[in-house]
Amino acid sequence: MSQHTSALAIETAGLVKTFGETRAVDGVDLAVPAGTVYGVLGPNGAGKTTTVKMLATLLRPDGGEAHVFGHDVVREADEVRGRVSLTGQYASVDEDLTGAENLVLLGRLLGHHKKAARERAGQLLEAFGLSEAAGKQVKHYSGGMRRRIDIAASILNTPELLFLDEPTTGLDPRSRNQVWDIVRAVVAQGTTVLLTTQYLDEADQLAARIAVIDHGRVIAEGTKGELKASVGAGTVHLRLRDGGRRAEAAEILRQALDAQVQLEPDSVALTARLATAAGDTAAEQASRALAELARTGITVDNFSLGQPSLDEVFLALTGHPTHDTEEMAA
């Protein structure tokens, strides 16, 4: 492998996993710098969990290689296991125990004495906003609390590398934000995080670099900025007071923002797809557009700014939406 291996938490080359006819992971190359959050973004069935399981030594690759902190996941699986922790659909917490009991038990299993295990459990419950729920059985936790206790359980011993497999799928916005704060805190402690997600905004919030995967392959990789540059910065939806000035407004948006403007079926509505201008956020571009319109006396009744969705990313990168009709029918 490359001479930079020591600075990489994960390095894979041509990683493959097949299940019968399905090539779940079909030649994945990844290079994850240590000490960062790395986002693996892709729709359901893209191969995210299968990739994570191979890196965490839970599944054996059928081809290619993977190293975690320089250790081969097959030949040096024990070395890898000692350095990683995994949070996902295979949580280790026991539903019938309370949050506190779970963390103390897991701490004891990790070899901590009772007092140290209790202290660590208390710290984590506090840090994760679960102090009040500490005495409740986990089966009575909300979805957001459940995700947080799962993550707490996985960082009892601060791992060098933490896999978070879709940690916020299905959570309400407030719980998502709490999980995001936890991820930021974990990486601030020096842990490398590999985060899988179906949400572009989540990868955007947390990850330094992002790999987009589809059908078991990496179809794009880079910093957030690089990825967005290939997709566009977002979309502005506008509703004008006076539909008669729509063509004029469209022209202003084209010129002021270098945007692709689309006239909507609703005669007062238009949509501008923002290009990524260097050093200019979507919000800055949008406020410039509003200022230009105001200057020419065009009244905007309603306005919204949308981030590019995963669908838009996929459309831009692959020319097809995340789910083709076959999958929709299945």
Ligand X SMILES: Nc1ncnc2c1ncn2[C@@H]1O[C@H](COP(=O)(O)OP(=O)(O)O)[C@@H](O)[C@H]1O
Size of the site for ligand X (CB under 6 A): 11
Between 33 and 45, whose beta carbon lies closer to ligand X? 45
Structure tokens at 117: 């295990």
Question: Minimum CB separation from ligand X for residue 49, in Å?
Answer: 3
Is residue 66 within the footprint of ligand X (CB under 6 A)?
A: no
Exposed, middle or buried by CB within 10 Å (0-12, 13-18, 19+), for 60?
exposed
User: Could you tell me which residues are beta bridge partners of residue 210?
Assistant: 39, 222
Between 45 and 306, whose beta carbon lies closer to ligand X? 45
23 binds, among Mg ion, ligand X, none (CB under 5 to 8 A by kind): none
The DSSP code sequence of 151-204 is HHHHTSS--SEEEEESTTTT--HHHHHHHHHHHHHHHHTT-EEEEEES-HHHHH
Between 58 and 300, whose beta carbon lies closer to Mg ion? 58
Alpha-carbon gap, residue 199 to 168, rounded angstroms? 9
Between 266 and 324, whose beta carbon lies closer to ligand X? 324
Structure tokens at 17: 């996993």
Is residue 51 within the footprint of Mg ion (CB under 5 A)?
A: no
Residue 178 CB partners (closer than 8 Å, separation 6+): 128, 129, 144, 148
The DSSP code sequence of 47-101 is SHHHHHHHHTTSS--SEEEEEETTEETTTTHHHHHTTEEEESSS----TTSBHHH
Between 17 and 209, whose beta carbon lies closer to ligand X? 17
Question: Minimum CB separation from Mg ion for residue 218, in Å?
Answer: 16
Question: Minimum CB separation from ligand X for residue 50, in Å?
Answer: 3
Is residue 50 within the footprint of Mg ion (CB under 5 A)?
A: no
Question: Minimum CB separation from ligand X for residue 55, in Å?
Answer: 12
User: Could you tell me which residues are beta bridge partners of residue 42?
Assistant: none
Query: Cα-atom radius of gyration of the chain, to the nearest Å?
Result: 23
**Shortest CA distance to 217 belongs to which of 50, 102, 57?**
50
Question: Minimum CB separation from ligand X for residue 172, in Å?
Answer: 21
Is residue 19 within the footprint of ligand X (CB under 6 A)?
A: yes
By CB under 6 A, the residues from 119 to 138 that bind ligand X are none
Is residue 99 within the footprint of ligand X (CB under 6 A)?
A: no
Between 88 and 159, whose beta carbon lies closer to Mg ion? 88
Question: Minimum CB separation from ligand X for residue 317, in Å?
Answer: 16
Between 45 and 122, whose beta carbon lies closer to ligand X? 45
Between 49 and 102, whose beta carbon lies closer to Mg ion? 49
Q: Which region, judged by CB under 6 A, interacts with ligand X, from 8-16, 19-27, 69-77, 101-109?
A: 19-27
3-state helix vs strand vs coil in the chain, percent to 5:
40, 30, 35
Residue 217: Cβ within 10 Å count: 16
Please count the residues of the chain. Answer: 330
Question: Minimum CB separation from ligand X for residue 76, in Å?
Answer: 23
By CB under 6 A, the residues from 22 to 61 that bind ligand X are 22, 24, 42, 44-50
HSE of 253, CA atoms in CB hemisphere, 13 A: 27
| 28, 30, 43, 49: residue in contact with Mg ion (rule CB under 5 A) | 49
Binding site for ligand X (CB under 6 A): 19, 22, 24, 42, 44-50
